[in-house]
Structure 1
Amino acid sequence: MKEERDFIRQVKSAREDMQEADELIRTYMPFIKAETAKFLRRPVTEGQDDELSIAMIAFHEAICGYSPARGGFLKYASMLIGSRLIDYHRKEQRHRKAISLETPLGEEEDKSLGETLSDGKDHSEEMTVREATRKEIEELTAQMKDFGVSLTDVAENCPKQERTLGACRKALNYAKEHPEILEELLRTKRLPGTKLCKGSGVERKTMERHRKYMVALLLIHTNGYEIIRGHIKQVMKGVTER
């Protein structure tokens, strides 16, 4: 526990001092390389693989954006590195695809390759995103288990009415603005319902009825569940736009 506290202090210090941030990156370069190699599914070659630079930037981003409410730092950094590498590959694939599709088929051929294709989908990108999503769901499922909540519970406990979904969004926003709520959830493994209701103005009955859904919703915002969080954001956005 003391080592963990010391490490968190080290991360906070690195956030305010670029020299200490560089030192922390150098210390954890084996971890950064391992995460990059895991993504590439092959050893990393320094000076050749741009992905390693992306991973180092993501690690520094993790230093700047970390708080204990997000869970373990290295787990958070791992998720952030994976997310940024996925983003990088998406952009690279779109760029390569744009170049190849605009290339003429021959000197005397008017049509480009893109005009001859009936299916322009990038299946490798779909597979990458699908694998990353599967990994996030597995990690979230394992974390929720510590709170006595399963994916089935969340599905069954999900609000069916827009008004109730809006109330849950209101409670979520309050928790995001008050990290101590998320920290208490992680520390006690219990939803701080009374504080959430009092602070957000959501009825206690609504909070109790959708307790398991709220636990999952808050957990998603305590770690690097970037893909799942993006999906939730779109769902919540849809509620406010109606």
Structure 2
Amino acid sequence: MTMSNAPSLMTKTAPAFTLEDKIYQIQNGDERLRNKLIDSYQPFIKKVVSKVCNRFIDQSMDEYSIGLFAFNEAINQYQKGQGSRFLTFADMVIRRRIIDFLRKEARTANTVYFDQPETDEDGQQEESYIEQQAAIDYYEEQQQIQERMEQIESYKELLLQYGITFKVLSKQCPKHIDARENAKQIARILVENEKLANYLLEKKQLPIKELLQYVSCSRKTIERNRKYIIAVSLIYLGGFTALKPYIEPETV
């Protein structure tokens, strides 16, 4: 007999490769997997879009294309630890994009909104209300962060045209609140005067001589705070709404 006395080896099962793992792999540059994932989840995308529109959606419709783009956007923006599974997050992003589209097209009747939990064919809730709300909150927060970062970068580039960097600006920012508020007031006077604002934008210089006709402070004060006044003026003129807290009145 050739019976072996060796104990049988237990085969270790490899950890499951989750959908979220695939998302992180795509975010690290696997474009083939991205295309494969988008292709395999077309039924999911079509299902979500159809539910929002309350009608059948096929691949030739604009709504479907928007759903595809939104799914791809969700792949790019999904992050670990945000409080929801990827499909919950993707569902929410697709819904948001479709609703935005329908509003723009003035066809918002019978739209399904996010505060209505979805149910599957068996009447079971697909995702919990709390989980969907967590995904919505996270997405909106990320959108705000992204917008703020983009505006900061644009603002930084604009300041460079005036020879101002953030480092220089931090050093030349008036130390006292009343001095900062005075400089902000000068900036507001400038942006509300079309002639002065155009001078700043075209010449890339502060129209100090002209400003003195509208303000009560001395030329020396304006010159001392010149870069700060320019920086505040450009927040107004550039429409950098995300930087609004920097130009709002301060309290002592």
Q: Report the TM-score, using the length of structure 2 for normalisation.
A: 0.49
Q: Relative to total residues, which structure has the larger helix share, 1 or 2?
A: 1
Q: Gaps spanning 5+ residues in structure 1: where?
A: 1-35, 58-94, 101-111
Q: What is the percent sequence identity of the aligned residues?
A: 21
Decide whether the 8 Å contact of 2:184 with 2:229 is kept in 1.
no
Give deviations 1:151-182, integer Å, cap 9, x for gaps: 11111111121210121122022113212111
Per-residue deviation at 1:99? 5.0
Give deviations 1:66-103, integer Å, cap 9, x for gaps: xxxxxxxxxxxxxxxxxxxxxxxxxxxxx73x555xxx
Q: Does 1:165 align with 2:180?
A: yes
Counterparts of 2:240 and 2:227, CA distance in 1 = 18
Per-residue deviation at 1:113? 5.4
2:149 corresponds to which residue? 134
2:224 corresponds to which residue? 209
Q: Report the TM-score, using the length of structure 1 for normalisation.
A: 0.50
Q: 1:226 aligns with which of 195, 218, 241?
A: 241
- DSSP-derived class of the 1:200 partner: coil
Decide whether the 8 Å contact of 2:186 with 2:215 is kept in 1.
yes
Q: 1:192 aligns with which of 207, 215, 218?
A: 207
Map 1:45-124 onto structure 2 (within 5 A). 49-52=98-101, 96=114, 122-124=137-139
Decide whether the 8 Å contact of 1:144 with 1:150 is kept in 2.
yes
Matched AA of 1:139: S
The number of residues matched between the two structures is: 149
Per-residue deviation at 1:120? 9.8
Counterparts of 1:56 and 1:213, CA distance in 2 = 43
Decide whether the 8 Å contact of 2:172 with 2:225 is kept in 1.
yes
Matched AA of 2:217: V
Matched AA of 1:145: L
Decide whether the 8 Å contact of 2:187 with 2:230 is kept in 1.
no
Decide whether the 8 Å contact of 1:157 with 1:213 is kept in 2.
yes
Root mean square deviation, CA, Å: 3.9
Matched AA of 1:209: R
Q: CA 1:216/1:167 → structure 2, altered by over 3 Å: closer, same or farther?
A: same
Per-residue deviation at 1:214? 1.1
Counterparts of 1:195 and 1:187, CA distance in 2 = 15
Q: Does 1:125 align with 2:140?
A: yes
Per-residue deviation at 1:194? 2.1
Q: CA 1:148/1:53 → structure 2, altered by over 3 Å: closer, same or farther?
A: farther
Q: CA 1:54/1:177 → structure 2, altered by over 3 Å: closer, same or farther?
A: farther
Per-residue deviation at 1:213? 1.0
Matched AA of 1:149: I
Q: CA 1:121/1:189 → structure 2, altered by over 3 Å: closer, same or farther?
A: same
Higher RCO (CA 8 Å, separation ≥ 6 residues): 1
Per-residue deviation at 1:198? 2.7
Matched AA of 1:214: I
